Each structure stands twice: as structure tokens, then as C-alpha cells.
Amino acid sequence: MITNRKQRPISAEQQLLAHHIKPTFQRLKVLEFLSKSCIHPTVDMIYRELVATIPTMSKTTVYNTLKSFVDKGIVSSLMITGTEARFEYVRQSHHHFICEKCNSIMDIVIACPHAVKRSVGGHTIKEQHGYFKGICADCAKKEAVNEAV
Ligand SMILES: [Zn+2]
Ligand SMILES: [Zn+2]
């Protein structure tokens, strides 16, 4: 679901208009896809999903659309894998967990003492990013099964 900054549900079209972005068909589809996704997809993943039903979709369009969404603060890009940008629809801030085996990125909701403060050590906080790296529950389970065999 798409929500505005006050966490109220709005349509994809309203969200784009509120950010002075022309709501073209392809931009709406990219935004709708991201708002439903929880896998923090790459440009490639988004493109492959959308081109299956929208043959006119191009990778360049997906890329340019994401860039303008990030510029306007509708979407955030995560660079935590070190090799590729992953994208997510901006909701309340949260931490991430990245699995070094399967490369999945999951949302982790933890209370961060700095989240409620607006500054740290005299520096003004505008954004916060935090992540953990390790083995996800699924991969840990698979490893346990393999070792048992
Ligand atoms: Zn994993
Ligand atoms: Zn996230």
C-alpha cells in the first residue's frame, strides 16, 4: 500500500503528483510494484517483473524512473551489498539484515536510541541507515539440513 508522510493511504498517481512527477503509465507501474515489494529489488529484478506484462517497458525507463523517485525522496536506494543498488519504497525508517549466502535483504525493526533524536555529537541527523550482515534463517536451515546428510 502507498502511504504519504502522515502514513495515510493514497494512490500512486496522487503520490507522484504530490512530488511534481508526471504520472505516466510506466512510472505508476514502477511505483506500484515497489510499494508492494518487500525484497528490496535491483533495477534488473524490477525490469524483469514488469516487462513480463508490459512489453514496452525498458530497463532505461526503470532506471531513470527510480532515479527521479530517489531524488524526490519517494524511494530509497540501498548500497549495502557493495555491488549493486537495491530499492525500496520509503516507509518509516528501519534497519536491514543482509544475508551473505543468498543476498536477500530483510527489514529489521529495532529501537535505535538515535532514531528519536535529531542530532548526534552536535551533528544534525537527516537520514539514518543501519544494517547487519550474516546468514539468514532460511540459509541457516538449509545448511543444517546439508550437514545432517
Ligand atoms: Zn540467505
Ligand atoms: Zn527495507
Alpha helices in 11-96 (DSSP H): 12-18, 25-36, 43-51, 59-72
Ligand 2 centroid, distance to 96 Cα (angstroms): 6
Question: Which residues, by Cβ under 5 Å, contact ligand 2, an ion?
Answer: 88, 107
Q: Which ligand is nearest to the CA of 140?
A: 1
Q: What is the distance in A from the centroid of ligand 2 to the CA of 147? A: 31
Every domain range in the chain assigned CATH 1.10.10.10: 1-91
- Closest ligand relative to 138 C-alpha: 1
CATH code 3.30.1490.190 region(s) in the chain: 92-149
Q: Which ligand is nearest to the CA of 143?
A: 1
Q: How far is CA 76 from CA 55, 62, 99, 135, in A?
A: 26, 14, 20, 24
* pLDDT digit string (tens) for the chain, length 149 residues: 777 767 778 899 999 999 999 999 999 999 999 999 989 999 999 999 999 999 999 999 999 999 999 999 999 999 888 889 999 998 777 899 999 999 999 999 887 776 677 788 888 887 778 899 999 999 999 988 888 76
Q: Which parts of the chain are beta strand (E)?
A: 75-78, 86-89, 95-99, 105-108, 119-120, 123-124, 131-134
Q: Which CATH class is domain 1-91?
A: mainly alpha
According to CATH, the topology of domain 92-149 is: Dna Ligase; domain 1 (3.30.1490)
pLDDT in tens, 53-83: 999 999 999 999 999 999 999 999 998 888 8
